[in-house]
Chain A
Amino acid sequence: MSLTPEEVKKIAFLARLAIKEESIEQYSEDLSGILHLVDQMDAANVEDIEPMAHPQDAMQRLRKDEVTEINQREKLMENAPATENGLFLVPKVLD
């Protein structure tokens, strides 16, 4: 499987990654190489094999729906690039 520069642009947009125009060709080559490696999976016969999502096939553990975290709003917001009145600031979403 190879990826064209057009496909790379589409994937980069899906992943919300700005890629410089001059780098597209290189990514297309690199990603095609990775997919080529991945294509070696085609040799495997996996009919009737149950997919394995967790190494111990463990189920998701459930807990009681109780508050266990304390409110650390101010501390947690210290890492935000922009805030105002305890809210995260982002560029205008609606006109």
Chain B
Amino acid sequence: MDNQMINKSLAELSVGLQSGKFSSVELTQFYLDRIASHDSELNAFITVTAEQALATAKTADEKIASGSASGLTGIPLAHKDIFCTDGVKTSAGSKMLDNFIAPYNATVVEKLKSISMPMLGKTNMDEFAMGSSNENSYYGAVKNPWDLDRVPGGSSGGSAAAVAAKLAPIATGTDTGGSIRQPASLTGITGIKPTYGRVSRYGMIAYASSLDQGGVFASSAADSALLLEAMSGFDAKDSTSVDIPVPDYSTTLNDSLQGLKIGLPKEYFEEGLNSEVAKVIEAAVEEYKKLGAEIIEVSLPNTHLAIPAYYVIAPAEASSNLSRFDGVRYGYRCEDPVDLTDMYMRSRGDAFGREVKRRIMTGTYALSAGYYDAYYLKAQKIRRLISEDFQKVFEKVDVIMGPVAPETAFKIGEKSDDPISMYLSDIYTIALNLAGLPGMSVPAGFANNMPVGLQIIGNAFTEGKMLNVAHQYQQATDWHKQTPSKYAVSEGEK
């Protein structure tokens, strides 16, 4: 199998498979070999599922031979270890679920399995998706493929590192406050968090249910369009799933951007934004002008309230969601409990990491008697202010752009003792989750030799427009084609 495989788009891989140039078994084995060679240093995977992957690949090859394949059939992928996978360990990056074998498939997993996309494995993540650096995993930190001393971002750091180092052609992730966009930005790949309700949350281990949303990590907007379409859609098993038809995202990728109105929120370019990162974003905006877009300065005046409101809503929902881990039905149970209370307390105390405990306690406090109005209710009111800010801006513009993160990937250990400084790094991503809006990170250049992502924010259910906007930029630039030299295969090389 040719090493050039890693430089191919999903559409090209699909052509190769359909034309019999290579088989899914060969392609899947090729990626399993890359994982075997490189993952010991990256730590992107918690579990590698070689046997299942090859079995699915075999089914894919049969479907291709019999003409019953879809475009993605036979293309391997990686799932964030937050999606339940029947018969396979599903840990959510926690000691609590280190022994948990999911008894069913998440809807996302089921959908992609039904079209025979082989699952290479389950990727590393911050425990229960709480974190922005992937340092909060029970399975150890994930390394950034661009610099092994730096974080890949979080919480979906494993999926991001796997796609950035080409250990998987594409991967799933989840985003509650930036957990797809920030790692995509920090590792130089394309990531999309769709509108809340677009992708089923069934079987996705819950962190903050009114904010959690599944999405995609890919090498390009065109690849993202294919996987997002395949995993989206109404699901009766998710009570907040939205019953709106899924468009064919690929057909609008080539629409012209002539006359596109781009809003730049002034609050996203103020103090706190690294000046080198700002330059990259400004250059990307210039590129959009060349593509025919009109730039309009806009304001999202309640931006500064997003992080405070998030750190009430998300911990409150987490404290409720994570109460299910009681040591009775699944998960970790402490040794020799003396009574029920002792069992609950020590099982949870032993098995949850520090950040998870911090958030559970913050949420428990915010929801405790006498504090509900001051915290949770107030945060939900602020949530509406933030949502209304966006709606006012979308009366004037088609998309909003800005940075994803205020700086490039930081060093492992640099912020791990300072939770607040870690929280503040999500300043540009969190507001979207509160408003339920879709967001993307698109590679736009480098600052201090580390990748920088441009954030594209759309109104609800405008993923097609956002992918079009990202794709046109990727036709004009090649930032998304950069791969860390250690993992790259240059043209002509075998």
Contacts and interface: CB of A to CB of B under 8 A. Distances in A.
Q: Do A and B bind each other?
A: yes
B350 interface: yes
Interface string B479-490: 000000000000
A2 to B, nearest CB: 12
B308 A18 contact: no
B206 to A, nearest CB: 15
B101 A41 contact: no
Contacts of A14: 364, 368
Interface in A48-87: 49-56, 58, 60-61, 63, 72, 75-82
Interface in A26-53: 27, 30-31, 33-35, 37-41, 43-44, 46, 49-53
B345 interface: yes
A77 B330 CA distance: 8
B210 interface: yes
B377 A51 contact: yes
A11 B375 CA distance: 15
A18 B337 CA distance: 12
Interface residues on B, range: 35 or more
Interface stretch (B39-47, B121-129, B354-362): B354-362
B349 A79 contact: no
Residue of A12, A15, A61, A79 contacting most chain B CB atoms (<10 Å): A15
Contacts of B311: 34, 37-38
B435 A55 contact: yes
A12 B348 CA distance: 10
B197 A55 contact: yes
B270 interface: no
Interface stretch (B20-28, B52-60, B153-161, B379-387): B379-387
Interface in B191-244: 195-197, 210, 236, 239-240, 242
A80 B156 CA distance: 28
A60 B209 CA distance: 13
B236 A82 contact: no
Given A31-B361, A31-B362, A51-B380, A56 B349 contact: no
A16 B341 contact: yes
Contact of B331 (A39, A50, A75, A79): A79
Nearest to A18: B349
B351 to A, nearest CB: 10
Contacts of B340: 90-91, 93
Contact of A17 (B343, B361, B375): B361
A58 B240 contact: yes
Contacts of A72: 103
Contact of B210 (A55, A63, A79): A55
B358 A30 contact: yes
Contacts of B345: 13, 16-18
Contacts of B382: 41, 44, 46
A91 B435 CA distance: 44
A74 B417 CA distance: 43
B339 A91 contact: yes
Contacts of B350: 18
Given A18-B348, A27-B358, A55-B436, A33 B419 contact: yes
B394 interface: no
A31 B358 contact: yes
Interface string B318-362: 010001001111111100011111111110111010000110111
A92 B339 CA distance: 6
Contacts of B387: 52, 55
Contact of A81 (B307, B327, B346, B383): B327
Given A44-B302, A52-B383, A88-B329, A37 B423 contact: yes
B219 to A, nearest CB: 29
17 contacts: A3-B365, A15-B319, A17-B345, A18-B345, A18-B349, A27-B358, A33-B420, A34-B311, A41-B309, A41-B382, A55-B435, A55-B437, A61-B239, A79-B99, A79-B331, A88-B329, A91-B342
Interface of A: 3, 8, 11-20, 27, 30-31, 33-35, 37-41, 43-44, 46, 49-56, 58, 60-61, 63, 72, 75-82, 88, 90-93
Given A35-B362, A41-B379, A52-B387, 11 more contacts: A15-B364, A16-B326, A38-B362, A53-B380, A54-B210, A55-B435, A76-B329, A79-B331, A80-B328, A90-B343, A93-B339
- Rank and list the top 5 A-B pairs by shortest CB-CB distance, nearest first: A55-B436, A18-B349, A51-B380, A79-B330, A81-B333
